[in-house]
């Protein structure tokens, strides 16, 4: 069971839609990962992230995809790479990460409600 939070706590988490503009392998990561550059529109700009999504995705296939990410966590150093946002995903039945994304195109930077 998860611990309840208030609605005000939930509103503090800034989850936005972004479009992947660049993706490349991240061989220096401890677990297999892909480095991502994501455009969140003019208000937020481009941010970087590292995602452990190599089971289902290749860097080439990610370019142009929209994803959802938390944009207001502090940056986190992952090896030689500074991850600035947390890309959201869910585990499938085999434990592979499936990216969360809008099912229709939304503007870059659109906030989740």
Q: Under a CB-based contact definition with an 8 Å cutoff, are residues 100 and 68 in contact? A: yes
User: Each residue of 57-76: pLDDT tens digit?
Assistant: 999 999 999 999 999 999 99
Tens digits of per-residue pLDDT, 28-58?
A: 988 999 999 999 999 999 999 999 999 999 9
pLDDT of residue 17: 98
**CA-CA distances (angstroms) from residue 51 to 7, 60, 74, 75?**
28, 14, 16, 14
Q: Which tens digit of pLDDT belongs to each residue from 16-26? A: 999 999 999 99
Structure tokens at 81: 């790479």
- Output the pTM of the full model: 0.94
Q: What class, spelled out in words, does domain 9-99 have in CATH?
A: mainly beta
Give SS3 for 97.
Answer: strand
pLDDT of residue 81 exceeding 90, the answer is yes
Q: What is the DSSP string of 15-27?
A: EEEEEEEEEEE-T
Label residue 63 exposed, middle or buried (CB < 10 Å: 0-12, 13-18, 19+): middle
């Amino acid at each position: 069971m998860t611990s309840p939070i208030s609605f005000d706590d939930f509103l503090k988490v800034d989850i936005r839609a972004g479009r992947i503009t660049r993706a490349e392998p991240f061989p220096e990561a401890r677990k297999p990962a892909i480095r991502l550059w994501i455009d969140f529109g003019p208000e937020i700009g481009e941010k970087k992230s590292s995602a452990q999504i190599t089971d289902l995705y290749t860097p080439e296939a990610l370019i142009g995809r929209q994803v959802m990410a938390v944009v207001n966590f502090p940056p986190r150093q992952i090896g030689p790479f500074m991850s600035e946002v947390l890309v959201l995903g869910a585990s499938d039945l085999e434990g592979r990460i499936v990216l969360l994304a809008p099912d229709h195109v939304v503007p870059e930077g659109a906030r989740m409600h």
